[in-house]
Chain A
């Protein structure tokens, strides 16, 4: 630097004139400004995510829903629970267990399909990027999905009809999910059912 201009204002003006008359270049200062803008955007993004802008399967509770009069082993049924648009999938496994999951892939929200002939007892497969979920637990066994599938809790009544009675989020236990649903609809009943305070706190 040569002579220091008197006022900082003047100095800034001189710097600006210098910039404008120079060759068009992105300086490292400009990069810093761009990076700072991106950083601020990420703060905003993180805030809206934490505030709950993303939709999450199983938010809101619904009365039990009968999804099928009967299921034979290996058969799957698609339905919407708890809301019409909460696409879900129930499968009766070979040993008679009925499992239910959100049918929306946790990767980029493609539809998850039941593939009976894959894996040892069949698996849930997302064709978009070859995501694979364990049909018994909903855990990711292959591919890019970052989280297990949210569960839909299924029961079979004495007549063999299959009902959806609640939901559990990715990685949440069925019990905790049921308690959360119960607490939302009837807190007294949740206490009576033996839900501890930390179970299903959302």
Chain B
């Protein structure tokens, strides 16, 4: 894109006298990335063109949100089971306390599954 004659004052030229400072932003500040400011680490490769800077895999992203929600719900259930186990043990029903522990272990396995099932999603 050339600047038409007469648009700049005389002796003016755009950019810096130091060629270093005229490099593209990405070269001067490699830390500034296409995702900077978006707070969205899911974008791993954006580029020019439609869809740049948005979710690359929205369906995976929704699945990941669902996994977090599931895991949190299960942990709430575990907290409840711990109170039941404590009450049961204090009342002398050790069996009930062990059953609650079993429930807790099963819940833990569900959470681990939710965590590990697809390691690429972020």
A residues whose Cβ falls under 8 Å from a Cβ of B: 1-2, 15, 18-19, 21-23, 25, 27-29, 31-33, 35-36, 38-40, 42-43, 45-47, 49-50, 52, 54, 56, 106, 146-147, 169-172, 180, 202
Closest Cβ of chain B to A144, distance in Å, is 12
Which of B8-16, B21-29, B93-101 has 4 or more CB atoms under 8 Å from chain A? B93-101
Q: What's the minimum C-beta distance from B94 to chain A, rounded to whole angstroms?
A: 7
Contact-residue size bin, chain B (C-beta under 8 Å from the other chain): 35 or more
Inter-chain contact B39/A23, CB cutoff 8 Å? yes
What's the dominant secondary structure at chain B's contact region?
helix
Tell me if B54 is interfacial: C-beta within 8 Å of chain A: no
29 interchain pairs, CB-CB under 8 A: A23-B35, A25-B41, A27-B41, A28-B68, A28-B122, A29-B64, A32-B67, A32-B68, A32-B71, A36-B112, A36-B114, A39-B71, A39-B108, A39-B111, A39-B112, A42-B81, A43-B101, A43-B104, A46-B85, A46-B100, A49-B85, A49-B101, A50-B94, A52-B89, A52-B94, A56-B89, A146-B83, A147-B91, A169-B92
Residues of B within 8 A of A (CB): 30-31, 33, 35-36, 39, 41, 44-45, 56-57, 64-65, 67-68, 71-72, 74-75, 78-79, 81-83, 85-87, 89-92, 94, 97-98, 100-101, 104-105, 107-108, 111-112, 114-115, 119-122
Min CB distance B36 to A, Å, is 6
A-B interface contact total, Cβ < 8 Å: 128
Residues in A with CB closer than 8 Å to B105 are 43
**B67, A50: Cβ atoms closer than 8 Å:** no
Q: Which residue among B56, B78, B121 has the maximum number of chain A CB atoms within 10 Å of its CB?
A: B78
Chain B residues near A40 (CB, 8 Å)? 108
* A36 adjacent to B115 (CB under 8 Å): yes
Closest chain-B Cβ to A99's Cβ sits at a distance in Å of 19
Contact A39 B31 (CB under 8 A): no
Asked whether A172 lies within 8 Å of B92 as measured between CB atoms, the reply is yes
Which residues of A lie under 8 Å from residue B94 when comparing CB positions?
A: 50, 52, 202
- Which of chain A's residues have a CB closer than 8 A to the CB of B86? 49, 54
**Chain A residues positioned under 8 Å from B85 (CB to CB):** 46, 49-50
Expressed in whole angstroms, the Cα–Cα distance for A42 and B114 within the complex equals: 17
Alpha-carbon distance between A39 and B92 when the two chains are bound, in angstroms: 25
Given contacts A1-B56, A23-B35, A42-B104, contact A170 B82 (CB under 8 A): no
Further pairs besides A22-B41, A50-B85: 8, Cβ < 8 Å: A35-B75, A35-B115, A36-B112, A38-B75, A39-B74, A46-B85, A49-B86, A52-B94
Within the complex, which residue of B33, B75, B98 is in contact with A39, where a contact is CB–CB below 8 Å?
A: B75
A172 CB, min distance to chain B CBs, angstroms: 6
- Interface hub of A33, A46, A49, A147 (most chain B Cβ within 10 A): A46
What CA separation (Å) do A106 and B91 show in the bound complex?
11
Give the 6 A-B CB pairs with smallest separation, nearest first: A50-B97, A32-B115, A46-B101, A39-B111, A46-B104, A42-B78
Task: List, in ascending order, chain B residues with CB within 8 A of A21's CB.
Answer: 30-31, 33
